[in-house]
């Protein structure tokens, strides 16, 4: 890693502007007054105050994914957009899967193409098996090969407890967070060449579950277990499978699924006393997608702001 003019150039040069100088991580971003107005699901980036940082002005790649082709689900906004941006600046072509936010998806593709990589947005509900298998087929058709699968799209809805969770909500949460991962991974491992990687998005909720997110936390625990089991199976094909476990992250899902008074306090419970910005998650995905993590499979990288996970 090299340092010039107070800025860091190297593998960790992909987060907030303040990170290029030696700063207290609690103070990397100013503690904002989060927008309290609730949005309809899945939420819009443009409606968020403050606007999330995806690394637009700060992430600088170093060629770690040149020639790779990736799918990023939920890539229109939040963590998914930050990952798509970072992957593109590292040299990868990116297919962005999204549910309904057309403007957000177009912006992510614009960022990918600005990095002089191929970008493609594909709309669809991942609760449909054909949509999931179709994404893999589309990536192979457009790019010629699929090397990286990031299963990131998720659904959550806070409730007052188990009595408020309807069967419809439980079904939607499991279909979006677990079934889609199963369908996507099943289709991907059938076509991925040796050296490919799968990265699933788990959560601190897998080990520190909140009663108000019972169904969501259940799926996130399942994602980690699925990751460990699949990693052992497909390493024989030369495919690695890992997951990232975020803590609180400022994404459209928050004002779209949490109560206004909870949005105002979002992330303050972490030891960092703030939520992460999406840009702070992307380097973990880049690391797991790159050859630098060649001896890592079946692992979980916690990016929790200091909240311990067993």
Single out the catalytic residue among 59, 216, 285, 295: 216
Half-sphere exposure of 124 (CA within 13 A, CB side): 20
**Cis peptide upstream of residue 190 (ω within 30 degrees of 0):** no
Task: Match 């990286």 to its residue by tokens.
Answer: 148
Strand 7-9 relative to strand 2-4, pairing:
antiparallel
Query: Strand ranges (DSSP E) for 32-83?
Result: 69-73
Asked if 200 contacts 181 with a C-beta cutoff of 8 angstroms, the reply is yes
The three-state secondary structure class of 248 is coil
C-alpha–C-alpha distance, residues 53 and 45, integer Å: 10
**Cis peptide upstream of residue 203 (ω within 30 degrees of 0):** no
Burial of 156 (0-12, 13-18, 19+ CB in 10 A): buried
The helix, strand and coil proportions of the chain, stated in percent and rounded to the nearest 5, come to 40, 15, 45
C-alpha–C-alpha distance, residues 155 and 169, integer Å: 9
Q: Where are the alpha helices (DSSP H) in the chain?
A: 78-89, 102-114, 129-143, 167-174, 180-189, 214-234, 253-257, 260-264, 282-289
C-alpha–C-alpha distance, residues 178 and 218, integer Å: 10
C-alpha–C-alpha distance, residues 61 and 11, integer Å: 8
Task: Match 């499979």 to its residue by tokens.
Answer: 297
For the question of residue 216 being annotated catalytic, the response is yes
Active site residues: 216
């Amino acid at each position: 890693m090299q340092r010039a003019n107070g800025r860091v150039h190297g593998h960790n040069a992909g987060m907030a502007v303040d990170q290029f100088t030696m700063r207290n991580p609690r103070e990397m971003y100013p503690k904002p007054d989060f927008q309290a107005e609730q949005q309809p699901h899945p939420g819009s980036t443009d409606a968020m105050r403050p606007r999330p940082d995806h690394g637009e002005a700060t992430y600088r790649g170093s060629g770690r994914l040149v020639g790779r082709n990736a799918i990023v689900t939920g890539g229109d906004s939040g963590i998914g957009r930050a990952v798509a941006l970072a992957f593109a600046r590292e040299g990868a072509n990116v297919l962005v899967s999204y549910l309904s936010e057309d403007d957000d998806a177009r912006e992510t593709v614009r960022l990918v193409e600005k990095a002089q990589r191929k970008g493609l947005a594909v709309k669809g509900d991942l609760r449909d098996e054909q949509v999931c298998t179709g994404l893999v087929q589309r990536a192979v058709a457009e790019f010629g090969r699929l090397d990286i699968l990031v299963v990131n799209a998720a659904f959550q809805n806070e409730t007052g407890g188990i009595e408020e969770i309807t069967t419809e909500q439980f079904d939607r949460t499991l279909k979006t967070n677990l079934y889609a991962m199963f369908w996507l991974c099943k289709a991907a491992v059938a076509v991925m060449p040796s050296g490919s990687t799968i990265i699933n998005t788990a959560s601190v909720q897998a080990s520190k579950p909140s009663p108000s997110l019972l169904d969501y936390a259940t799926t996130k625990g399942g994602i980690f277990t699925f990751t460990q089991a699949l990693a052992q199976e497909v390493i024989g094909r030369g495919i690695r499978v890992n997951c990232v476990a975020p803590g609180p992250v400022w994404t459209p899902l928050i004002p779209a699924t949490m109560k206004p008074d909870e949005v105002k306090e979002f992330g303050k419970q972490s030891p960092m006393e703030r939520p992460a910005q999406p840009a702070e998650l992307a380097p973990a995905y880049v690391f797991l997608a790159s050859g630098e993590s060649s001896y890592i499979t079946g692992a979980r990288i916690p990016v929790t702001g200091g909240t311990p996970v067993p």
